Amino acid sequence: MVLKTWIVLIQYAVNRLMEERLWWVAKEIALRILLWLAWLCLVPLTLTFHLAGYRRLPVLTQRIGHLAAELDCFFKLVRLNQIATQGKHYFILAPAHNVSNASLLDYWRDHITVITHPVACRVLEIMTRGLLMRHEVKTYVLAIGRAARYFQVCAQWGYRPALLQLKLDHEARGNRFLADLGLSEDDWFVCVHAREAGYSSWDESVHDYRNTTVSFLFPAMQEIIDRGGWCIRMGDESMKPLEPMRGVIDYAHNKARSAELDIFLCARCRFFLGNTSGLFLVSSIFGVPSALTNQTPFASTGFRQGDLSIPKHIRRLGHTKFLTSAQILDSPISNFRMSRFYLRAQLELVENSAEEIKDMVFEMLETLEGRFREDPEVDLYRAQFSGRLRPEHYCYGTVGRISATFLLRHKEKFLEPTDQIPEI
């Protein structure tokens, strides 16, 4: 298992280097050498702080999904008595230019020391490059070549209350914003998000396999509206504006959009209709379920009890038949997390259809209203999926469910045996 993980990590590092230009690689190597030299100079001071119990959680604060889930995972492990904190002083580094959402960071300030001074952050970042003064969190969500620990933690946490709750003053300001948009106190809404190119242009070529088409969500959004709900489209100004639609608010292009409202909406919605983009994890840490489309890698689901998901389809270039669950899960394809991997293996990713997404949303709404009755046949298909998951699969140990309607629609995909493992 350890050897497999290291092989995958090396493959990802090599492929990432191939994505960049030679001058970038040379610059990175030179910078890393300088940083390690600086670390050596600071070892005596670092050792002193380490022995005094100071530990940095190296959270990726610049990515909102990581800022949400990595800290949520850590504190749930503490509550589950799987991390001993006695005699330890935990902190995170969050210089202003490297924070994806300042409002979410403020919620975590009640739980952990947050260091924001740029000079202090730079020095402490160098000091914590090695094993000293560091509590590693990269296996929580990032987890290249292995299962993300957050899946198992969410399974153990079950239906316990969320660690974070909206603060009263924050909720009051958010409710005023909803009132300005025309929503009454009794109205409910769903946050809707489709990952597009533009948010992180510098590494888009690495992650563009995760992108989706927002128009495929329209029938599902109409289902929500027909049931009396509203749809609030999340995102930022880099996204394609929506045409005016009854019951739909294009918040991504609203002048009032802010970090604070981002968190309020994710925490207050009935559920989050999203994809692999990490914004849905803000809803998760506030105890809100998600319905996730186009999950990729294939061995990926929602994290929590009550989450629904449907995977992106995969097929050979030039072929019309999709690969089966067995074919994918019994091969490295199941964990592909770079666009280059799919291209090199001559594989094509096919987005979920509007009908598949609408069916999942129908299932989520019926479930939340206590009316959904699942066909017993679905258990067989779920068992085919979960039974093939191994510790090296990203979602090993998940309690998130693949949508029953999707499984019934594609039953042959989850029942067909492994007749031929794709060569890669």
295: β partners: 311
Query: Between 3.40.50, 2.60.40, 2.10.25, 1.10.4100, what CATH number should domain 172-415 receive?
Result: 3.40.50
Predicted TM-score (pTM) of this structure = 0.91
**Nearest in space to 190 (alpha carbons), one of 216, 228, 154:** 228
The secondary structure of the chain in percent helix, strand, coil, rounded to multiples of 5, reads 45, 10, 40
Contact predicate 224/190, CB 8 Å: yes
Contact predicate 394/4, CB 8 Å: no
Burial of residue 129 (number of CB atoms within 10 Å: 0-12, 13-18, 19+): middle
Which of the 8 DSSP states describes residue 422?
Answer: P
CA angle 95, 96, 98 (to 5 degrees): 70
Separation between Cα atoms, residue 233 and residue 273, nearest integer Å? 9
H-run or E-run covering 177 = helix 168-181
H-run or E-run covering 209 = none
The residue extents of the domains of the chain are 19-142, 172-415
Separation between Cα atoms, residue 285 and residue 288, nearest integer Å? 7
Separation between Cα atoms, residue 26 and residue 39, nearest integer Å? 20
Query: Could you read off the pLDDT tens digit of each residue along the chain, which spans 424 residues?
Result: 556 666 665 665 666 666 666 676 778 788 889 999 999 999 999 999 999 999 999 999 999 999 999 999 999 999 999 999 999 999 999 999 999 999 999 999 999 999 999 999 999 999 999 999 999 999 999 998 899 999 999 999 999 999 999 999 999 999 999 999 999 989 999 999 999 987 767 677 788 989 999 999 999 999 999 999 999 999 999 999 999 999 999 999 999 999 999 999 999 999 999 999 999 999 999 999 999 999 999 999 999 999 999 999 999 999 999 999 999 999 999 999 989 999 999 999 999 999 999 999 999 999 999 999 999 999 999 998 999 999 999 999 999 999 999 999 999 988 765 555 555 5
Contact predicate 75/98, CB 8 Å: no
